[in-house]
Amino acid sequence: MREATRERFDVAVVGGRVAGSSAAAHLARAGLSVLLLERADSPGEILSTHTMQDLDCLDRLGVLERVLATGPPPMPRSTLWMDDCDLSVGHPEQPWLSVRRATLDGLLLETARRAGAEVRLGCKVTGLLRDGRDERVHGLRYTGPDGREVTVSSRLVVGADGRSSTVAKLTGARKYHQSWNERGAVWRYFEGLPAPPEFFFCRRGDDLLLAAPCDRGRVLLAVQPAVEDASRYRADGEIERTFRRAARPWGRDGHEWSDLLAHAEPDGAARMVLRYACFFRESAGPGWVLLGDAGHVKDVVTGQGICDAMRHAERLTARVMPAWRSDRALDAATRTWWHARDRDAAPMYWLSQDMGRAGVSPALFGSFFQRIAASERRKLRLQEVLGRRYPVRRFIAPYRFAAAIAARLRSGAAPAGATLREAGALVRTEALRRWAAVRPHYEQGGARPGQRDGRRAGQQGSPRDRRQDGRLGGTEPGREERARPGERRPARTGGDGGGSRAAVPAAGKTTAQKGGGDGDDRGADPYRAARTGGVRAHRAAGPASPVAEGSDE
């Protein structure tokens, strides 16, 4: 190994994907010296959602124009089907985009470099520097592509290195609220497919399919079967056969899939992901913070990861800059950011878990979506929920499900006892989630699906255990691991004014404490007023042409 080198930066960011590049750009523009380290030699395709529902994040980052220049058509309308419920609606004030990760990540890395961050590729972090007096992290060590070891001193280390985060392992950050996906994902890109400029989502029986026009003329087709069935969808032609068999027509004009796929050619092999964990992690400590998938992963079905990463990177910068005067103030600011992150993310985390369930949709969910489909205003609200402009729990409110239960009882579509038992199960699930928000359950050693504390792998436990495993990743009231002595607990993640008070350091009332919003931490977000700025460039460009793997970080 070559001789070690010592350097100093204000911030060292580990991971050069969406979260890391966004944080490096914002922090550098705020006047800090920033080092951005990425393990890969160049951005490539990874397991990831592609959809961005909030173009304002790209606009504030200064990359929207360059993203649009790669050719992804803005999608001012979404074709959404939940079984027989047509939830399709236009949202021209909030168009969506779908961009392949190799394209997007390369643009974001360049944005960080232009903002003044020092970007280095092919670098592997090997350790953290700690102060012997208080165990505060004050830098890191990494090995460069030439084998040279470099020691970097910094006030703050940002771990944005994905769900298998090296920084998380080195700090001992624990997971909580862990659950497991029930559906895998198999996706492939196509050329020559005349896709309308609309997002497509269809859940029909046990089938779940989505499609979107992407950059450089490619179109994404994806299926999300149950994990145990996913492998067979990698066979040539299987994705196309599934869309022809199960997908509803695409777009306002009702394009049939047999016509859309008539001249489509695959671009590369099908990609697949089977089992992955969804979780929150302890995301702040003395001198360090975890961002993006390093700190929180949800089921990919709602496609929230990219915008979440960019939004949380923005808010991290807004929190730490006023506190840069001292280590104590900086640590308090990162803790406050972590708690606000949890309040913002928790409601969508549970919604994603519900929407990603394998099998057919529960009957009460069908009744709920029938009521949504009957109202254009409610369908638009659903789009605003997915775009994070309307609170999840205000939309999926108890009174809405109460109305769905009453309608189902009146219709006689099912025995009253079955409907009431299903309603009782929903109430119990919500109660367990509220309890988990108050008493987080910390995972020990990354338990696998079906494995609980004190249970060997392969022992499935009682039916009651299995039900709780699916809902809360093993949480059971009375069995949670308690916080370590002198340790701060993560925020109560009720969100949306959901009845649990967030345990955060006093910094003025948050939205969650006032009972409104998704716990958005409005006081720390200086960009809240810029709600429609992200679509200006898209509007000025005029109508777009209809045709123009992973981790979210």
pLDDT above 60 for 155:
yes
Residue 49 CA to residue 125 CA, distance in Å, equals 26
**pLDDT for res 522:** 32
Q: d(Cα 224, Cα 216) in Å, to the nearest integer?
A: 24
| Same domain as 42, residue 105 | yes
Last residue of a domain, one of 417, 437, 457: 437
Minimum mean pLDDT range among 38-47, 333-342, 429-438, 457-466: 457-466
Same domain assignment for residues 339 and 370: no
Is pLDDT above 60 for 45? yes
Q: What is the 3-state secondary structure (H, E, C) of 238-255?
A: HHHHHHHHHCCCECCCCE
489 within some domain: no
Q: Is residue 345 domain-shared with residue 385, that is, in the same domain?
A: no
pLDDT higher than 90, residue 297: yes
Same domain, residue pair 158 and 133:
yes
Place of tokens 């709602």: 302
Q: DSSP assignment, residue 509?
A: -
Distance between CA atoms of residues 407 and 413, nearest Å: 10
Question: The domain containing residue 387 runs over which residues?
Answer: 361-437
Note whether residue 484 is domain-resident.
Answer: no
Using one digit for the tens of pLDDT, what is the confidence trace for 400-456? 888 888 888 888 878 888 888 888 888 888 888 888 888 888 876 443 333 333 332
| pLDDT bucket at 485, cuts 50 / 70 / 90 | very low
Q: Among 10-14, 43-47, 371-375, 496-500, which range has the highest average pLDDT?
A: 10-14
- pLDDT by residue (tens digit) across 445-483? 443 333 333 332 222 333 333 333 333 333 322 333 334
3-state secondary structure of 486: coil
Query: What's the Cα-to-Cα distance from 361 to each of 85, 307, 367, 422, rounded to whole Å?
Result: 12, 27, 10, 12
Give the pLDDT confidence score for residue 444 in this predicted structure: 66
- Tell me whether residue 381 is in a domain: yes
Instruction: Please check whether residues 327 and 395 belong to one and the same domain.
Output: no
- Collapsing DSSP states into helix, strand and coil, what is residue 114? helix
Q: What is the pLDDT of residues 265-290, one digit of tens each?
A: 999 999 999 999 999 999 999 999 99
The answer on 376 and 338 residing in a single domain is: no
Name the token pair of 280. Answer: 């929150």
Question: Tens digit of pLDDT for each residue in 163-217?
Answer: 999 999 999 999 999 999 999 999 999 999 999 999 999 999 999 999 999 999 9
Count of C-beta atoms within a 10 Å radius of residue 74: 21
Tokens matching residue 352: 């994603």
Domain boundary among 355, 389, 407: 355
Task: Determine, yes or no, domain membership for 79.
Answer: no
- DSSP class of residue 122 equals S
> Is 155 in the same domain as 285?
yes
| pLDDT in the model for residue 44 | 72
CATH code of the domain containing 335 = 3.50.50.60
Q: Are 336 and 425 within one domain?
A: no
When divided into structural domains, the chain yields a total of 2
How much is the pTM?
0.80
User: Would residue 252 count as lying in a domain?
Assistant: no
Evaluate whether residue 269 is within a structural domain.
no
348 and 404 co-located in one domain: no
- What percent of the chain has a predicted confidence (pLDDT) above 70? 79
Q: 370 with 346, same domain?
A: no
List Cβ neighbours of 133 (8 Å cut-off, separation of 6 or more).
none
What count of Cα atoms within 13 Å lies in the side-chain half-sphere of residue 148? 9
DSSP labels for 276-334? -EEEEE--EETTEEE-GGGTEE--GGG--HHHHHHHHHHHHHHHHGGGTT-HHHHHHHH
Place of tokens 């494995």: 451
One-letter amino acid of 173: A
Q: Please check whether residues 63 and 167 belong to one and the same domain.
A: yes
Distances (CA, A) of 162 to 17, 38, 157, 166, 179: 9, 11, 15, 9, 17
Report pLDDT for 30: 97
d(Cα 473, Cα 222) in Å, to the nearest integer? 26
Asked if residue 150 has pLDDT above 60, the reply is yes
Amino acid 531: pLDDT: 29
CB atoms closer than 10 angstroms to residue 456: 7
Same domain, 63 and 131: yes
Domain assignment of residue 212, yes or no? no
Looking at 335, 355, 375, which one is the last position of a domain? 355
Which residues sit opposite 220 in a β-bridge? 189, 212
Question: How would DSSP label each residue in 206-231?
Answer: TEEEEEEE-GGG-EEEEE--BGGGGG
In a domain, 340, yes or no: yes
Higher pLDDT, 426 or 522: 426
